[in-house]
């Protein structure tokens, strides 16, 4: 216990941190409690996007920021084992494809591109309830997935270290 505390009390100072060791034990503990709350809050913003401010993009940013918090607290390798790069890339493409699918279903079911076919024909719902605005919640979920995966990928790739002229890019 004392050895572990001594090891993780050494904070990385210096201009460029190479992201392998992470931060102190206080930051690591709090980060591991808070990350679930941030993720859940992000899902709330995405799902209720047609009722409260937010929506797909803002919710996606919050979803990505929970992973960024983990990246800052634990180091890049830890997060990369959790959500590997090819999987995030495929989630990214899946999100965009779901959004295009929602738009194409407008042609199939209604006859016009991007038609809100759920609201006008099948499932109007009650105003101010969760099931109300037709295809807008589905589009919000797709955008939230895509934006979250994209911002996670961007932050992961930008955190690769560069010391002087030697850059290690995979």
Partner 1 sequence: MPYALCFLLFMIGLYCAVVKKNLVKIVIGLAIMEYAVNLFLIMLGYRTGGTAPILDKTYIEAGTNKIVANFINTSVDPLPQALVLTAIVISLGSLALVISICIRIYGKYGTFDITEIRRLKG
Partner 2 sequence: MTRVLPAFVLIPLVMAFVLPVFGKKGKNIATVLANLTTITLLILAIVCIGKSGFYEVGNWSIRVGIIMVLDGLSSLMLLAINLVSAAAMLFSARYMEQYTAKSKYLSLFMLMVAGMNGVVLSGDLFNLFVFLEIASLASYALVGFGCEHEELEASFKYMVLGSVASSFILFAIALVYGNTAYLNMACISKSIQTSGLNAGLTFALALFIVGFGLKAALVPFHAWLPDAHPSAPAPISAMLSGVIIKTLGVYALTRVVFNIFGVSVSVGWLLVTLGLLSMIAGAFLALGQWDFKRLLAYSSISQVGYVVLGIGLGATLIAKKANPAWASLALLGGLFHLVNHAVYKSLLFLTSGSVEMSTGTRQLKEMGGLAQMMPVTRTTCTIASASIAGIPPFSGFWSKLILVIAAVQAGLYWIAAIIVFVSLCTLIMYLKVQRYAFLGELPENLQQIKENKGTMLVAMVVLALLCVLMGLLVIVPSLRDSILNPAVSVLTAGPKHWEIAGILKM
- The binder of 104, among partner 1, partner 2, none, by C-beta within 5 to 8 A per type, is partner 2
- The binder of 106, among partner 1, partner 2, none, by C-beta within 5 to 8 A per type, is partner 2
Distance CA 150, CA 161 (A): 20
Residue 128 binds partner 1 (CB under 8 A): yes
Residues lying near partner 2 in the complex (CB under 8 A) are found at 86, 89-90, 93, 96-97, 100, 103-104, 106-107, 110-116
Would you say 32 and 72 are in contact if contact means Cβ atoms under 8 Å apart? no
Helix 56-74 vs helix 136-158: crossing angle, to nearest 10: 30
Would you say 29 and 8 are in contact if contact means Cβ atoms under 8 Å apart? no
Nearer to partner 2, 26 or 123 (CB): 123
Single residue of 2, 111, 164, 170 touching partner 1 by CB under 8 A: 164
**3-state DSSP assignment of residue 162:** strand
Distance CA 73, CA 96 (A): 30
Contact residues for partner 1, defined by CB under 8 A: 51-53, 55, 57, 126-128, 154, 157-158, 162, 164-167, 169
């Amino acid at each position: 216990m004392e050895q572990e505390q001594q090891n993780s009390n050494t904070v990385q100072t210096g201009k460029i941190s190479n992201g392998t060791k992470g931060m102190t034990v206080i930051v690591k503990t709090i980060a591991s409690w808070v990350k679930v709350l941030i993720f859940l809050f992000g899902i709330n913003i995405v799902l209720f996007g047609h009722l409260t401010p937010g929506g797909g993009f803002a919710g996606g940013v919050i979803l990505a920021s929970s992973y960024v918090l983990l990246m800052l607290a634990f180091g890049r390798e830890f997060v990369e084992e959790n959500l590997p790069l090819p999987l995030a890339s495929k989630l990214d493409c899946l999100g965009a494809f779901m959004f295009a699918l929602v738009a194409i279903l407008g042609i199939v079911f209604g006859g016009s591109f991007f038609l809100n076919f759920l609201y006008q024909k099948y499932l109007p719902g009650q105003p101010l309830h969760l099931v109300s605005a037709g295809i807008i919640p589905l589009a919000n979920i797709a955008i939230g997935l895509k934006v979250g995966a994209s911002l996670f990928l961007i932050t992961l790739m930008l955190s690769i270290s560069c010391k002087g002229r030697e850059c290690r890019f995979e």
